[in-house]
Amino acid sequence: MVSRLLDVNHNGTRFLRELKDECIPLFLRIRDPTCEPILSYNSITNNVLLKIAVPKRTGRKRKRGSQDPYTNDVDPKSTTISGENSTSNIQSHSLNDKPTSILKKLRDNVGKYTVEAVGAIEQSHRYRGLADYHQSTSHAPFMSHFQETAFSANLTRAGSRNEEIVPPPTFTHHPLPFNWGYRQNPLISTEVDAETGETSIVNRSKMPKLEMQYVHCDEDEDVPTKAHRPVPDDPVLKDFVAALQQAMNERPIWTRRALQNRLVNEPGYYLMKTRPSIRRLPIPKWPLA
């Protein structure tokens, strides 16, 4: 990734020096102007870069089934890579620097390896963003036709019908992948209608819409004698409606405060839900005699 980044950005040392405190863009297609780069996120770190030199392997094998280190001692000075040739034989590519492999080499060469602190890593650039969707226009006839018409200032050829056009260079505006934590809303449940048997989804967090039936004072016909809708299939709610009906049989007119005092042993939050199931008179603006 680092070598590719330096090759893409040409002069890597000067480029990293200029963008020390900023992000480093990574172009997957540097010659394609419609390709959006992946931006890095500069993180402050406090790490030490170590250079570990182990003796070069000579092709010797252990005894079958043994995990002991090699018995034949070799001169570490003659087998250790050093000098100018050390940079061309660095084993930091092709997955040769696995932690398990490094620890195994250190155990096999006890006292024969050297560890040197090369430098401190104070900043790390991490590429955690998603590569944006883009279309390669290298083999598309649109770019060649666009160059012939736009760059040559020959606009007479640009007015044809059904002209091909490429998608926009940017599709998404999310710099980081969103963590989609899909889970079921605990306030959403299913209920079965007692009459029709149909299953419906009910959102309990939504404020219920109360449907009140208003009757005119001089109405003689079409006076409702029961609720407009049946009581939901809830045993606690049905018990509360039965308590309300018992209170209405005691006396026909109740105020809200009087009902709350009458039903002190019942859950009060059901009073709002059961109000459409009983007869209710609005409080008048004049005092009652």
**Least reliable range by pLDDT among 111-115, 137-141, 174-178, 264-268:** 174-178
Distance CA 250, CA 147 (A): 91
Which pLDDT belongs to residue 288? Answer: 44
CB 9 within 8 A of CB 15: yes
Give yes or no: residues 217 and 121 share one domain. Answer: no
DSSP 280: -
Nearest to 199 by CA among 189, 208, 207, 209: 189
Encode pLDDT of 56-86 as tens digits. 765 556 666 666 665 544 444 444 444 444 4
Residue that is last in its domain, among 126, 156, 184? 126
CB 3 within 8 A of CB 11: no
187 in any annotated domain: no
- The number of domains in the chain is 2
Give yes or no: residues 221 and 122 share one domain. Answer: no
202 in any annotated domain: no
Encode pLDDT of 99-157 as tens digits. 777 788 788 888 888 889 999 998 888 887 777 666 666 677 777 777 777 767 666 76
The residue segments making up the domain with residue 110 are 2-126
- Give the number of residues written for the chain: 289
**Least reliable range by pLDDT among 37-51, 133-147, 159-173, 269-283:** 269-283
148 in any annotated domain: no
182 in any annotated domain: no
151 in any annotated domain: no
CB 121 within 8 A of CB 49: yes
CB 212 within 8 A of CB 280: yes
Give yes or no: residues 216 and 113 share one domain. Answer: no
195 pLDDT band (50/70/90 cuts)? confident
Mean pLDDT of the chain: 69
Task: Report the range out of 138-147, 208-217, 226-235, 237-246 with the highest average pLDDT.
Answer: 237-246
More confident residue, 202 or 220: 202
Which pLDDT belongs to residue 180? Answer: 64
59 in any annotated domain: yes
Give yes or no: residues 225 and 122 share one domain. Answer: no
Give yes or no: residues 217 and 101 share one domain. Answer: no
> Who contacts 152 (Cβ-Cβ below 8 Å, separation ≥6)?
none
Give yes or no: residues 122 and 16 share one domain. Answer: yes
245 in any annotated domain: yes
72 in any annotated domain: yes
* Mean pLDDT of the 247-261 span: 81
Which pLDDT belongs to residue 274? Answer: 64
Using a cut of 0.75, tell me whether the model's pTM lies above it.
no
Encode pLDDT of 18-43 as tens digits. 555 678 888 887 777 667 788 888 88
Residue that is last in its domain, among 126, 157, 182? 126
Residue that is last in its domain, among 72, 93, 126? 126
Distance CA 144, CA 141 (A): 6
Given a cut of 70, whether residue 243 has pLDDT beyond it is yes
Nearest to 52 by CA among 100, 108, 97: 97
Given a cut of 70, whether residue 208 has pLDDT beyond it is no
